[in-house]
Chain A
């Protein structure tokens, strides 16, 4: 079946870049995207990329997609303490979305 995998934890220092990695198995995925869950809150859409794109940049966020290896990454430039959260990788097509376990990002001052 379809599967989305991510590392569970990442710790960085404030001001550094964070890179959160994700792999997926469903080759029919049309969209890959990221949700963010801040402490005590529900998940919220952060950004997404269409499967025929290699990269998408949105302010401090850069999403890279390697479709051949089914690898997705989210880079956060100049990471701030407010970026501390759980980041969920997900894949989707017309009828289904699949979420990973989430990566807990801790930003140290």
Chain B
């Protein structure tokens, strides 16, 4: 099915371990985003990429790195996981180049989420 695919769906890490969350979209979208969802904090933007080869920091980038490998894929890397990074992570993509998520045609398409626990 067309859409945004994230892997893995669940992951448990030990403090200090590293891992990469993968995200791919098959809608030929320009922009891709990584969010984290924590109770009481809403969805917070970690990084986004307006086009292949460009990335920009969002609201909470510390402790993360990203890579826009090609137009389809946008990965999020935790180099040294910390318990504060326990969260649900969502990848999203949009046909637009910004954050105009209210506009049909440039709305954000979200993946199913990755539930990450750091112990």
Q: Which of A3, A4, A8, A99 has the most CB of B within 10 A?
A: A99
Whether A95 lies near B109 (C-beta < 8 A) is no
Measured between beta carbons, the chain A residues less than 8 angstroms from B90 are: 42-43
Q: Does B53 contact A (CB under 8 A)?
A: no
Which residue of the partner chain B has the closest CB to A4?
B42
Interface of B, helix, strand, loop or mixed by DSSP: loop
The 8 A CB mask of A28-69 against B (1 = contact, 0 = none) is 000111010100111111001000000000000000000000
Q: Does B63 contact A (CB under 8 A)?
A: no
Number of residue pairs A-B, CB distance < 8 angstroms: 67
Please state if A101 and B40 are interface contacts (CB–CB under 8 Å).
yes
- Given A4-B42, A98-B42, A101-B42, the answer on whether A42 and B102 have CB atoms closer than 8 Å is no
Q: Pick the contact of B102 from A3, A40, A45, A102 — CB < 8 Å?
A: A45
From DSSP, what is the main secondary structure of chain A's interface residues? strand
Residue of B nearest to A34 (CB): B102
Residue-wise interface mask of A (76-104) relative to B, using a CB-CB cutoff of 8 A (1 in contact, 0 not): 00000000000010101011111111100
* Chain B: minimal CB distance from A95 (Å): 7
Establish whether residues B110 and A44, one from each chain, have CB atoms under 8 Å apart when the complex forms: yes
List 4 tightest A-B contacts by C-beta distance, closest first.
A42-B110, A48-B102, A99-B43, A45-B107
16 other contacts beyond A4-B42, A33-B101, A92-B99, with CB at 8 A cut-off? A35-B108, A35-B110, A37-B110, A43-B90, A43-B108, A43-B110, A44-B107, A90-B102, A92-B101, A92-B102, A94-B98, A97-B99, A97-B100, A100-B43, A101-B39, A101-B40
